[in-house]
Amino acid sequence: MYNKKFSINNPLKGFAIILIFVVLGCTNSSEIQIVGLNHISKVVFIAPTDTISFTIAEKNDLLSLKKVLEVSGIRFTEISVKKIPETILSGYDVIIVPFAATKLLNETALNAVMQAVKSGSNLLTDGVSSITQSLGIKLQAKITTITRIRDTHFSGNTLYWTTSCEAQTIDNAVRNDSILAFDESTNQPIAVCGIFGKGRFVSLSPLFDPNTTKGYSRFPFLIEWMESNLGICRIAERQAVEMYFDPGMRYNSPISIDTLARMWRDQKIKRIYAAGWYYDGNYDYMPLFKACHTNGIQVYCWLETPEVSDSFWVKYPQWREKTATGRDANIDWRKLMNLADSSCRKQVFKELNEFLMKYEWDGVNFAEMYFEPHPAGFENPNNFTPMNTIVRNEFKKQSGFDPIKLFDPQSPDYWKKNKTSWRKFADYRKDLSYRIKDQFLDFLTSVKKRKSGFEVMLTGIDVSLQPAESDNIGESTEYNLALYKKYNITLQIEDPSNCWGSGPERYEQLGKFYRKTVKDENRLTFDCNIVGSHEQGYGGFPSEKPSGEELRQIVYNMSVHKIRAAFYAEDAVYPHDFKNISTVLAREASITEKDVNQWKIKTPYTITVNAGRRNLGLKLDHKPWFAGDGGQVIIPQGEHILSFDTLQSTISTISLQHITGELKWAKFPHNKLEFEYSEEVTSCYVILNKKPQNILIDGKKADIQLVGNKEIVLKLPQGKHVVKVE
């Protein structure tokens, strides 16, 4: 046996060892795919060349599949069935063959598809076809009428099909594939995932969506199925989600506020609107600020006038609002105060001033200053407001009659008989609402002048889609737009509850309407209420509250006109749906694999990309990059090359782990950090891994607020600035 000690004095062997290390180093960084690094799937969509002969259902299904991919930001190459023989299908990670395309597959094309799956490509198909037969999927002989289904992974609730479907369920006894969805009446599968050769497939026995061209009427979690089973990765996300937070909804929650704030950060929540009506009660706001700010989350005070607080209601009964029947206006959860009374307003402003100045609020959301009742209006005198004596006397002086007479069937001014009298008071309510809002916004903008980086937001109920609501609740779109202009504030629009059961397209309509006036991209926000608005499938949506595809398309339709997206509320959103929001907000970002361990990224805004594993060496545009947290990498707007390596660089010891504003660029010289950011409406929070010794903002030394324990949080000024950290 040959056994000789290695000697460094042997030049040939020394050279060989050096060469081995060089090769290993090169291989490690560029030639071998890093284990655990996310893969960006190449997707091909097989489409029929001509759809004239297809039924409406088949055409809808084809368009629906394309729509859900577009909304999710999943890019694909589209080829016709005729092009299959000249296409190397095995070069694609995922092959999508809708039912309409399967009808045109000849034997050659079918064999090409099946061979690609055998070789390792993954497949998505719907309907009963030659493909399902080739996969070995057996069907029950009996036709089933499907009206209710269950998803085995993403919803524990019944999903309703208001347009019933006649279909064959899947006989899974032979293949024993993984069941994705089943018919609730028979417990038989209608969507399965299985293995075919080296590839995987997802197959639906009914059509995906023959009822609409949007893809949300039957299977709301198709994208999640593709992600879980076909290797699709939704890599890009935006830290731009805005959420309402009512501490009362978390009153008995075992989750601590520190854990909750960390969870919000992971869910890409940028800011929360925290209920402000507990200010004189037993809720301690200080831990909320500490937890949120140490996680780089902005905190706004959410006001719900004419509600002030429970304590205010008890303490000042003389200022309680009255309804048309004379009772105190405790309607639903809100205890309404008479804000037409100047003495009441003065006390409210005094208490709110103390509250807003006491804490490090990043802004205030002055929300839902309308009159009850919604949506009944004059039809419900027991809840109809305002009917306090100040309002009655002021209106009587203006119009010559007491508005209480509007609700007396014996009066000549009874609202159902006298439309002139009704119109006078309906217009008066809108004008009064405008005056109260004007006085509040005047007060809140005075607070803004005394606080740095403080956004003032007015949330109004939209009445453009349902004009009758304007008279029912005393709300006016024109008045809200006038206040937006007068105070140069942010306008948030909430659609009324009788619109919540309609389609996501309503937000595209609203965007088109409000963008005519609100040109500033950062000054328009839409609010979506995540509540049970589709009882037993009402409106044609399977899930009783927005989830999956419906929620994705809500966000998509908001983003069409670059609207900030807000949601009520953080406790109502299903856990998996936070990713649906943050990924759709980032859908315009394009990510492709340029080379092994190298991604080409093009994005119009700051995003985070999920590398798939932690502790990687990163380079952006061939320079060391230290922006991100764990496997989440922060990418500035623009075109970039992101490179990965298993060897972490030691050039810089400072990393930028989180930023709430738009990151324009960053540099990481040794022990230093330089970057430019933009945050137009409030302060920008930046999280670093180490406490800096010196901070320069636009070349001037800055003494800024630092918070945090293990991580260091900088509260940076509103606007566009260049920062240097040592």
Work out the average pLDDT over 270-278: 98
pLDDT in tens, 133-143: 999 999 999 99
Asked if pLDDT for residue 67 goes beyond 60, the answer is: yes
Phi then psi dihedrals of residue 283, to 5 deg: -95, 130
pLDDT at 706: 80
Helix or strand run (H / E) with residue 612: none
pLDDT at 3: 36
Phi then psi dihedrals of residue 185, to 5 deg: -75, -30
pLDDT at 23: 40
Helix or strand run (H / E) with residue 568: strand 564-568
d(C-alpha 587, C-alpha 557), whole Å: 12
Give residue 650's pLDDT band: very low, low, confident or very high (50, 70, 90).
Answer: low
**Alpha carbon of residue 511 to chain centroid:** 16
User: In order of start, what are the domains of the chain with their CATH numbers?
Assistant: 43-233 (3.40.50.880), 240-376+434-585 (3.20.20.80), 590-725 (no CATH)
pLDDT at 120: 98
Query: 114-144: buried (b, 16+ CB within 10 Å) or exposed (e) per residue?
Result: bebbeeebbbbbbbbbbbbeebebebbeeeb
Q: How many residues does the chain have?
A: 726
pLDDT at 671: 86
Q: Average model confidence (pLDDT) for the chain?
A: 94
pLDDT at 5: 31
pLDDT in tens, 475-518: 999 999 999 999 999 999 999 999 999 999 999 999 999 999 99
- Going from the C-alpha of 140 to that of each of 160, 167, 204, 215, the distances in angstroms are 22, 9, 14, 26
Give residue 252's pLDDT band: very low, low, confident or very high (50, 70, 90).
Answer: confident
Asked if pLDDT for residue 15 goes beyond 60, the answer is: no
pLDDT in tens, 411-441: 999 999 999 999 999 999 999 999 999 999 9
Give percent of the chain with pLDDT exceeding 90.
90
d(C-alpha 227, C-alpha 229), whole Å: 6
**Alpha carbon of residue 612 to chain centroid:** 21
CB 625 within 8 A of CB 657: no
d(C-alpha 519, C-alpha 33), whole Å: 46
Query: In one letter, which amino acid is 21?
Result: F
pLDDT in tens, 554-608: 999 999 999 999 999 999 999 999 999 999 999 999 999 999 999 999 999 999 9
CB 651 within 8 A of CB 604: no
Query: In one letter, which amino acid is 583?
Result: T
CB 593 within 8 A of CB 39: yes
Helix or strand run (H / E) with residue 439: helix 419-448
Work out the average pLDDT over 364-377: 96
Q: Provide the 8-state DSSP code for 613.
A: S
Phi then psi dihedrals of residue 474, to 5 deg: 70, 35
Q: Which residues pair with 679 in a beta bridge?
A: 719
pLDDT at 323: 98
CA angle 355, 356, 361 (to 5 degrees): 130
Give residue 716's pLDDT band: very low, low, confident or very high (50, 70, 90).
Answer: very high
d(C-alpha 356, C-alpha 377), whole Å: 33
CB 190 within 8 A of CB 132: no
- Of 81, 116, 76, 118, whose CA–CA distance to 100 is shortest? 81
- Of 703, 721, 715, 552, whose CA–CA distance to 74 is shortest? 552
pLDDT at 1: 32
Give residue 2's pLDDT band: very low, low, confident or very high (50, 70, 90).
Answer: very low
Asked if pLDDT for residue 115 goes beyond 90, the answer is: yes
Work out the average pLDDT over 297-319: 98
Neighbours of 354 (CB within 10 A): 11
Tokens of 697: 């903002």
CB 413 within 8 A of CB 679: no
Q: What is the pTM of this model?
A: 0.94
pLDDT at 398: 97
Write the CB contacts of 49 (distance below 8 Å, at least 6 apart in sequence).
80, 81, 82, 104
Write the CB contacts of 390 (distance below 8 Å, at least 6 apart in sequence).
338, 340, 341
d(C-alpha 439, C-alpha 429), whole Å: 15
Alpha helices in 515-596 (DSSP H): 549-559, 577-585
Work out the average pLDDT over 645-649: 84
Given the structure tokens 């039912």, which residue do they identify?
Answer: 99
Work out the average pLDDT over 637-662: 90
Tokens of 546: 């927005």
- Of 638, 640, 585, 588, whose CA–CA distance to 618 is shortest? 640
Given the structure tokens 């949080």, which residue do they identify?
Answer: 713
